Structure 1
Amino acid sequence: MGRFNIYILTNTVALFLCMAGTVYCMHTKLVFSCLLCSVLCLLVIINIYRLQNKQTKMIRKAIECLKSKDTSSIITPPFKDRKISELAETLTFIIKDLKSSAMEDETKYQYYKNLMNSVDTAVISTYKDGRIIWMNKSAKNILGPEVFKLPEDIQDALNNKEKIVHRKKQESTLDLSVSCTRISVHGQEQFIVSMSNIHSALEKNEMEAWQKLIRVLTHEIMNSITPIISLSDTLQERSVEFPINESTQRNISQGLGIINRRCKGLMEFVDNYRKLTRISAPVKSEIKVYDFFKDIEGLTATDYIHFTLEDNDMTLSADRAQLEQVFLNIIKNAIEACRKTENPRIEVSAVYHKNDSIKFTISDNGEGIIPEVKERIFVPFFTTKPNGSGIGLSLCKQIITLHDGLINVESKVGYGTVFTIIMGKS
């Protein structure tokens, strides 16, 4: 029999004897003895209450530890008894097991959280009304860290079952592929929204499509032009030997000359477009941006072009020749845009950007670009210049894309244009 049971049994017997003594003394009218037995009854009852209260406190402490998730406490038995000690050990084990389970759950949570934050796909958990429960790092980069509700354009796209959402974000354009999964958590309807920025993939596919088209066109045109030029040269030489009058001979020779010149012009035209399909992979080296700007400044030699640099020791990993081609092309366009400006000014700057990248900006206060033209400014062959080939800015975009960078343009008619280039640093 356990010690606790002996305590209870002893106190119960003592209480019974005291109560019996009290009744006997009352019956025999022994007042003092009756009073003494009553006091003893009270003391036994208090002792039983204390024993029960200690056991209750032990159980209450265990419940409070579970309730407050205090897993560091150890439940100690209120008195020495095997059964009570076993109960205390069991309660302590439950608390420690809860701690172990909580640590395991926290480890899993941190693992899945870090896993979700390491993927490029944006993942958002929302309520039915669009309120955000949780979102990973990629989602914060797209929507911003202080967004608490799913933007209306994304909600509308999901409601209309649209697959692509176009969004503007600072210096870049986002083409988001969106999808949604409905789940139930504790009987409450929630949604898991995933978004992937496919802008770079779309641009790459577009660029490859243009290159394939250009290769086919140039191949077919060159195959047709080459024999025409050869034949026109031969006929032009032999027309001199024909026994015809001078006027007819002059007309034939003139016509063949026109054919020859136009074919050569067309060959030159096609050769220019071949450049779009012959961009070699960049041969990267470490470039000191300060020296790079000095070289560009020397090549442009215009007094209203100003270069600013956040850090003179700033370096960049890129193909110097290709990057020079990009900057010179954009600056040349800026100079042309400022021809009618009273006080022209062109700013070329480089600052550190997020994710260990460098942001270049080339801004001017020229005439600006109308929205219809701005949307097509990087499309191959598109030009607004009378003698333009339409490959300059398209070439710039391809070079920056090959460097895994971004190029964007913002413009307002009458106020000027800003080209933004973002590239990874060395």
Structure 2
Amino acid sequence: MVFNRFQLQIIIYLIGICLSFTAALYLVFFIGNFPAVFGAILCTIVGAILFRYLYLFIAKTNQKLQRFIDSIKYADFVLKFSSDDSLDRNFKGLNNSFNSILEAFRKERASKEENLQYLKTILQQVNTGLMVVHNDGSVVLVNDRAKKIINLRRINHIDQLKSIDKRLYKILDSFSVNSNYLLDFHDNTQLIIRSTSLKIKSKTVRIFTFQNIYSELQQKEIESWQNLIKILRHEIMNSITPISSLNATLQDILDEDLVLEDSKYILPEESVEDLKEGLSTIGNRTDGLVKFIDSYRVYSNLPKPNFEQLDLNELIQKTSQLLDPEVTKSGIAFEYSIPAKAIEIKGDSYLLEMVLINLVKNAIQANEGIANARIKITGGYDEKGVPFVAVMDNGKGIVPEAIDKIFMPFFTTKKIGTGIGLSLSKQIMQLHHGTLVVKSEEGKQTTFTLKFLSQ
């Protein structure tokens, strides 16, 4: 509406100027008398006045428009246009339009600043450290929790972390998308560091979160030790109680049946057999207790992985060929499935092979007496691009009450076994910065999945 009035005003001024100068020329050249010349002078003056008004009108409009554009360009929304209409009343409408637009910008900026302040407040209050880093290493944003964790009041570049902890600097510098790292940082500080990336326009920023899980790990460790002590007590009592009982029985046999005759001890044949049987039982229980203690020694002294570049497909293929005769002998269908392209990981082939062998052997035992039993090993990448290996069987499954305990050291649902196979396997996967999880439907299917998160 204002623009239409502006156009109309320009047209009126131009028409007036043209008519004034045309009239002046007509009066001078076609009439030529004194009154006509005087009238031509008046027409010229009117035309000059109209031209001046047109020039001032356009100049004033351009000036206001330039001020308006500059205010938008430099985000100076405090500017306010006066309602001056000394040149023309249409300027009042133009001023009001500009003011309305700037007011809308002011409200929008205030809303954005309010939201930004709201988000900043939340980021400063959360109990998780947050750091946003540009590709050049400059720190865009860091909250107070992150500063407290890394013990720096101010950080502008990740290079400053070299003097704090070189391992932390290396993790942030050698950025890997969607990775998780566990770092023993300082006393009473165990950090889990998660990373991701975000592309904003043409720039990519890296986002890191830091969380101190020391107290949670301490609590879990206490719970693990309590559970382990219960199991140890249970196993030891299972061995000690019958040994103690048998010892008392054998002592009674010797006290009652052993007779001294002519300086010789005589024991009835029946009592001798009882002694042999009792001592044999004591020996068996002692051997079982020694094996149990050896199992604990193996669990608590697992060697550190010798990391090397591995093709997970080759590891699956090699392990499957190794286990195929044993599985086939058990009357179980056995197969493996791997992608055509190599799956590169870093790991210890010996330890990872140990995990797969243990899982397959567990699957063989779970399939005893099952019709159409089968075991399948699958390798590949999950939906997030994380390498994985899955061992699936259609055996007896795991009861819901035991699903949360099967990775506990020395816990077992089998009649024969030490109960450390799965706990060892999980420990090995943790050393590989990976996970071992299970999904089971009793009587239908069980799947153990190994994931390598930091590849």
After TM superposition, the score normalised by the length of structure 1 is 0.53
**CA deviation profile, 1:368-407 (whole Å, cap 9, x unmatched):** 2232221222112221112232211111111111111111
Q: Which of 43, 46, 62 is matched with 1:41 structurally?
A: 46
Quote the offset at 1:414 in angstroms.
3.3
SS at match of 1:386: coil
Q: 1:283 to 1:68 in 2, by over 3 A?
A: same
1:332 aligns with 2:355: no
Query: Is the contact between residue 315 and residue 425 of structure 1 (CA under 8 Å) also seen in structure 2?
Result: no
SS at match of 1:371: coil
SS at match of 1:383: coil
Q: 1:281 to 1:112 in 2, by over 3 A?
A: closer
SS at match of 1:373: coil
Structure 1 segment 133-282 matched on structure 2, within 5 A: 206=220, 210=224, 243-247=264-268, 250=272, 255-282=278-305
Structure 1 segment 269-348 matched on structure 2, within 5 A: 269-301=292-324, 302-303=327-328, 304-348=333-377
Q: 1:262 to 1:241 in 2, by over 3 A?
A: farther
Quote the offset at 1:55 in angstroms.
3.9
Q: Which deviates the most, 396-405 or 358-367?
A: 358-367
Identity fraction in percent: 25
Q: 1:367 to 1:253 in 2, by over 3 A?
A: closer
Structure 1 segment 345-384 matched on structure 2, within 5 A: 345-353=374-382, 357-384=386-413
1:419 aligns with 2:448: yes
SS at match of 2:377: strand
Q: 1:271 to 1:345 in 2, by over 3 A?
A: same
For 1:4, the equivalent position in structure 2 comes to: none
Query: Is the contact between residue 438 and residue 448 of structure 2 (CA under 8 Å) also seen in structure 1?
Result: yes
Quote the offset at 1:409 in angstroms.
0.9
Q: 1:113 to 1:291 in 2, by over 3 A?
A: closer
Aligned-CA RMSD value:
4.9
Q: Which of 412, 422, 426 is matched with 1:397 structurally?
A: 426
Aligned residues: 284
Q: Which deviates the most, 342-351 or 195-204?
A: 195-204
Question: Following the alignment from structure 1 to structure 2, what is the Cα–Cα distance between the partners of residues 117 and 375?
Answer: 40
For 1:67, the equivalent position in structure 2 comes to: 72
Q: 1:372 to 1:69 in 2, by over 3 A?
A: farther
SS at match of 1:244: strand
Query: Is the contact between residue 288 and residue 314 of structure 1 (CA under 8 Å) also seen in structure 2?
Result: yes
For 2:166, the equivalent position in structure 1 comes to: none
Query: Is the contact between residue 433 and residue 454 of structure 2 (CA under 8 Å) also seen in structure 1?
Result: no
Quote the offset at 1:195 in angstroms.
8.2
Q: Which of 15, 35, 50 is matched with 2:55 structurally?
A: 50
Query: Is the contact between residue 396 and residue 445 of structure 2 (CA under 8 Å) also seen in structure 1?
Result: yes
SS at match of 2:370: coil
Q: 1:203 to 1:299 in 2, by over 3 A?
A: farther
Q: 1:255 to 1:364 in 2, by over 3 A?
A: closer
Query: Is the contact between residue 339 and residue 379 of structure 2 (CA under 8 Å) also seen in structure 1?
Result: yes
SS at match of 1:361: strand
SS at match of 2:309: strand
- Structure 2 counterpart of 1:246, which letter? L
**CA deviation profile, 1:200-254 (whole Å, cap 9, x unmatched):** 99579746874798699989x7xx99xx99xx9xx99xx9998433139735665
Q: Which deviates the most, 391-400 or 349-358?
A: 349-358
- Structure 1 counterpart of 2:401, which letter? E
Q: 1:203 to 1:212 in 2, by over 3 A?
A: same
Query: Is the contact between residue 317 and residue 424 of structure 1 (CA under 8 Å) also seen in structure 2?
Result: no
**CA deviation profile, 1:28-80 (whole Å, cap 9, x unmatched):** xx787367426513522431441352143033123124326699xxxxxxxxx
- Structure 1 counterpart of 2:304, which letter? A
After TM superposition, the score normalised by the length of structure 2 is 0.50
For 2:126, the equivalent position in structure 1 comes to: none
Unaligned runs of 5+ in 2: 1-34, 77-112, 114-119, 121-130, 147-176, 180-191, 193-207
Question: Following the alignment from structure 2 to structure 1, what is the Cα–Cα distance between the partners of residues 140 and 400?
Answer: 38
Q: 1:118 to 1:44 in 2, by over 3 A?
A: closer
**CA deviation profile, 1:293-341 (whole Å, cap 9, x unmatched):** 2321222113522111113533322111211111111111222223343
- Structure 1 counterpart of 2:58, which letter? N
- Structure 2 counterpart of 1:307, which letter? Y
- Structure 2 counterpart of 1:365, which letter? N
Q: 1:377 to 1:252 in 2, by over 3 A?
A: closer
SS at match of 2:321: helix
Question: Following the alignment from structure 2 to structure 1, what is the Cα–Cα distance between the partners of residues 142 and 369?
Answer: 50
Q: 1:360 to 1:202 in 2, by over 3 A?
A: farther
- Structure 1 counterpart of 2:372, which letter? N
**CA deviation profile, 1:51-110 (whole Å, cap 9, x unmatched):** 352143033123124326699xxxxxxxxxxxxxxxxxxxxxxxxxxxxxxxxx9xxx9x
Query: Is the contact between residue 313 and residue 379 of structure 2 (CA under 8 Å) also seen in structure 1?
Result: no
- Structure 2 counterpart of 1:277, which letter? S
